[in-house]
Amino acid sequence: MGSRGDDGDRPDERGYGEGWEQLRQETLRRDGYACTRCGADDRTLQAHHVVPRSQGGPDDLENLLTLCRPCHGVIHQSNSSFDDVRDEASLFPDPEAPEPVARMREPTDGYCSRCGSEFGPEALVAWTDVPPPDSDGNGDGDAPDHLTLCKPCAGFLLENGPACTRESLTANHRFQVHELSAWRLDAPVRPSVFAPSQVAVRREPRTTRERLVDDTPLRFCWNHRGMRWLTVFAIGYAALWLSLGAL
């Protein structure tokens, strides 16, 4: 059974006032004395305000969730008092975690390391046995602790990245190799310009659009909605200007 608080959470030290300790205990009891993000019941547990008090969040049961201290640090990324334990939090939230705390361990973990798009935890897998970036003899970089991948990029790397194996992929939900394989053709042709070398693998284009747009610098314009509309507007404006000049 997890710890039900420590002296550092006493209301007179936290400034929450009379009644806070009873409310905190009610929160932990309601949540079964377990972290609502990761399910741990063997760590120091704390009551987390969903809407922060600094933003007018009330001290009531509906605005509180139980979190272990490492997971509390995941929610409060800028609070340096959690820096010593944040890395102890699980990479993924529990599949049943409430939406306010269902976050990856670091903000960047919510983005696919290959394509750079943002996804929810249920659409991501983690590559945890990542080779060092100098595995080919180039560079001096150390191996990252993990990389996160969307399912299409994970499926593509399973087929085209020898170092990426099914055993090295983990998630907070069940998935099968054939599931990832079915998604592989939805992976972008080109990786993000910021993709680490371990996942910066190009996919062969299959269609005319992929050859003319997704595999060329045009993708930076056409694949971005704002730039796409700007391009259409510029072409339309140029056509109008030429037609007026011909009159």
Domain layout of the chain by residue ranges: 7-101, 107-206, 217-247
Tokens of 210: 């992929």
Residue corresponding to tokens 């602790």: 145
Q: Give the separation between CA 70 and CA 14, rounded to whole angstroms.
A: 18
Local structure of 32: helix, strand or coil: coil
Could you read off the pLDDT tens digit of each residue along the chain, which spans 247 residues?
444 444 334 433 455 767 899 999 999 999 999 999 999 999 999 999 999 988 989 999 999 999 999 999 999 999 999 999 999 999 999 999 999 999 999 999 999 999 999 999 999 999 999 998 865 544 455 678 899 999 999 999 999 988 999 999 999 999 998 999 999 999 999 999 899 999 999 999 999 988 988 888 877 775 555 545 565 666 777 777 777 766 5
Helices (H), the chain: 11-14, 20-30, 69-75, 151-160, 177-183, 208-209, 219-222, 225-245
Burial of 99 (0-12, 13-18, 19+ CB in 10 A): exposed
Nearest by Cα to 113 from 171, 163, 152: 152
pTM comes to 0.79
